[in-house]
Structures are given as C-alpha cells and as structure tokens.
Structure 1
Amino acid sequence: MFSLGQIQFAVFFAITFIIVMIFSYRKDLKLHQQYYKGSIWILFFFLLFIAGLFVVKTLLKD
C-alpha cells in the first residue's frame, strides 16, 4: 500500500513533530499554567459527554 520511503518519511516526520511540540510546550509552560488554569475540567467534561453519547447510542441500538 505504501512504499518504504513513504513509511520512513512518515515515521521521521512524526518523531520530529513530537519533539518540536515537546520543546515548544516546555518553553511556554509558565504561560500555560497562568492563562489556562482549570482547563483540565473542560477536557474532563467533554470526554464525559462523549462517553455519555456512546452509552446512549449503545442502549438505543436495539
């Protein structure tokens, strides 16, 4: 499906992208803690909402 060169490029790109994102996040960590305090609750309730939709879909499937 994919050639060896395409797979190698995808792996190299993914690893490089993750490394750059880690360095960028660490550079801005103090700003993130100051301006995005409490944002973990938004993520928690969003995931809870998605899980609720999945449960409703599963229950109404029959």
Structure 2
Amino acid sequence: MFSTGQLIFAAIFFFAFVVVIAYSYRKDIALHKKYYKGSIFVLLGFIVFIFLLFVIKEFLKR
C-alpha cells in the first residue's frame, strides 16, 4: 500500500513532531500551571459525560 520511502518519511515525521511538541510543552510548563490550573477536571467531566452516553445507549438498546 505504501512504499518503503513513504513509511520511512512517516516514521521520521512522527518522531520529529513528538519531539517538537514535547519541547514546546516543557518550555511553557510554568504558564500551563498558572493559567490552566483546573483543566484536568474539565477533561474528566468530558470523559464521564461520554461514558454516561455510552452506558445510556447500551441500556436503551436492550
């Protein structure tokens, strides 16, 4: 499906992308701690909401 060159390019691109994202995050970690203090609770709320939708869907299917 993909040539060897395309797979090598994808692997190198993915690795470089992850390195740049990690570097950027580390550089801005002080700002993240200051401005995004309670964001983990928003994330947990979204996860719980999606889980509840899945449970309701499975419950109503029966």
Whether TM-score is above 0.5 comes out as yes
Q: Runs of 4 or more off by more than 3 Å in structure 1?
A: none
CA offset digits 1:8-61 (Å, max 9, x no partner): 111111111000000000000000000000100000000111111111122222
Q: How many residues align?
A: 62
Q: In structure 2, how many angstroms separate the alpha carbons of the residues matched to 1:3 and 1:58? A: 42
Q: Which residue of 2 aligns with 1:26?
A: 26
The gaps in structure 2 that reach 5 residues or longer are none
Q: Percent sequence identity over matched residues?
A: 53
Q: TM-score, normalised by structure 1?
A: 0.90
The gaps in structure 1 that reach 5 residues or longer are none
Q: TM-score, normalised by structure 2?
A: 0.90
